[in-house]
Structure 1
Amino acid sequence: MIFVTILTLAGLALFALAPGIDLAAARAFFRDGVFIAAGSPAGDVARTVFWDAPYVALAFCLGAYALRRSGRITRGPDGRAVIFLIATLALGPGLLLNGLLKEHTGRPRPVLTDQFGGEWAFRPFYKVDGECPTNCSFPSGETGASAWTLAPALLTPPPARPYAVAAALVLTLATAVLRMAFGGHYLSDVTLAALFIILVVLAGYRWYCRGGSRWM
């Protein structure tokens, strides 16, 4: 958790001191006046899959909990695990990203800024005087939701846990790249969203472990 905290602080400093990184990264996905994933059927399908993945993972865990409570299986998440999963999803992607930051930062999405064919001026992530009225660019809610899948990954049995964690991180990276390819977010939007949610998940996991709970 300390390492992720340091990464988050470093990311905040980097994107604040060098906001041009966001524009340079966005240009890598901008070709012939459009973002490369815009209007792509494959991109739309991938976005739907990535959007659904966190909720499928949560539904699977809740189903396993219900089966364990009913005595149909002997291994699965306990009540503390369910609290950990729901609380981190609600407080992280739900409240922090979508409820607070996205509604008050005012940052226009890349596709809406004048550098990429839009009408609004580019704003660094930390300036909240942009023209976006709601559901703004910073931070990326979808990337944050994908990063949340680290929570169920940490609950998997030890033999499978490294693979589950790796899958969660790959999903997060894929979601981040796709959102940038759509012109929906800047690099700082996706990077900091992922780091914020990983911190929330790790803090919740520390609470979960203090109760002596395990997937059993």
Structure 2
Amino acid sequence: MVRTGWALLAAWLLGFALFRTFPGIDLGVTALFYKPGNGFPEISNALWEFLRQRIWDVSIVLFLVALVAWPVAAFRKRKTLGLPARVWAFVSLLYLVAPILIVNGVLKANSGRARPANVDLFGGSHQFTLAGTFTDQCTRNCSFVSGEVAAAVALAVVIWLAVEIWRRALPLWGVRYIRAVGVLLALFIILQRVGTGRHFLSDAYFAGLVTLTTAWLLWGVIFAGWGAALGRRLRRES
């Protein structure tokens, strides 16, 4: 857990250092998919859009199921749909805190960063701004950071958690296959959002970090007993 925390901190610091020092990373990646006069046609097709919507739907259904299963399992003090209350609590809070509250409620609502397709360098009328800069180039549902990437990474985290829970019942190839599916789902959404001019690479990068950091904190509180340990320490020192 400690190593994971340090790795996440390093990822945050490295991300801000790279994307703010070298804005050409964002612009260069976006330019790969942009065609002057034609926008972002490379992966703007019905199949990719269908897959994107279905992955989004899975996250919504999973979140709603977890919201119901958590209190039911807690009240009954036994598993619901094969999982204990704390697992459902983890899933519910992961979606609620990362994609809903932090990403959509705070960052996208206030960052003011224009989406790539709306930036003057890619056929729009707004200015490009650095990742993490709060500006006025967008009024609502802005580019920084990506809500769909945050949700897709949350889905990947839940898939990995499910693998850990049922690991003994799965063959080794099954564990690897399911984990790979989780990662590929997140990567697909990142490619789709960046490739269609809806987000810069940094929007996807930091969206993923928001979710992973939230997952790490929730894991510590719910499964590793950080809250109980802190409570005992405070009682000893009082």
Q: Is TM (by shorter chain) over 0.5?
A: yes
**As a proportion of its length, which structure holds more helix?**
2
Q: Cα deviations across residues 27-59 of structure 1 (Å, max 9, x unaligned)?
A: 011124310257521232122122113224445
Aligned residue number for residue 214 of structure 1 = none
- Paired residues, what number? 212
Aligned residue number for residue 76 of structure 1 = 82
In structure 1, list runs of 5 or more residues that go unmatched. 212-216
Deviation at 1:131, TM superposition (A): 1.6
TM-score normalised by L of structure 2? 0.78
Q: In 2, distance between residues paired with 1:49 and 1:75? A: 22
- Matched residue type, 1:177: L
Q: In 1, distance between residues paired with 2:213 and 2:159? A: 15
Q: Cα deviations across residues 189-214 of structure 1 (Å, max 9, x unaligned)?
A: 00110111111112212223235xxx
Q: Is 1:36 aligned with 2:50? A: no
Report the secondary structure of 2:167's partner residue.
coil
Q: Is 1:150 aligned with 2:156? A: yes
Q: Cα deviations across residues 132-163 of structure 1 (Å, max 9, x unaligned)?
A: 00110000000000001134224322245554
Of 16, 20, 30, which residue of structure 2 is paired with 1:26? 30
Deviation at 1:61, TM superposition (A): 5.8
- Matched residue type, 1:131: Q
Decide which moves more: 155-164 or 83-92. 155-164
Closer, same or farther: CA 166–56 of 1 in aligned 2, 3 Å: farther
Aligned residue number for residue 54 of structure 1 = 59
What aligned pairs does 1:1-12 form with structure 2 within 5 A after superposition? Answer: 1=4, 2-12=6-16
Whether the 8 Å CA contact 1:37–1:178 is kept in 2: the answer is no
Q: Cα deviations across residues 100-157 of structure 1 (Å, max 9, x unaligned)?
A: 0011110000000101111111111122123200110000000000001134224322
Aligned residue number for residue 165 of structure 1 = 179
Aligned residue number for residue 13 of structure 1 = 17
What aligned pairs does 1:102-113 form with structure 2 within 5 A after superposition? Answer: 102-113=108-119
Aligned residue number for residue 234 of structure 2 = none
Q: In 2, distance between residues paired with 1:130 and 1:164? A: 42
Report the secondary structure of 2:48's partner residue.
helix
Q: Is 1:183 aligned with 2:201? A: no
Q: In 2, distance between residues paired with 1:173 and 1:113? A: 24
Larger RCO, structures 1/2 (Cα 8 Å, 6+ apart): 1
Report the secondary structure of 2:223's partner residue.
helix
Q: Is 1:129 aligned with 2:135? A: yes
Report the secondary structure of 2:91's partner residue.
helix
Structure possessing the higher radius of gyration over alpha carbons: 2
- Matched residue type, 2:101: L
Q: Cα deviations across residues 57-87 of structure 1 (Å, max 9, x unaligned)?
A: 44566788779x98xx897211111111111
TM-score normalised by L of structure 1? 0.85
In structure 2, list runs of 5 or more residues that go unmatched. 226-238
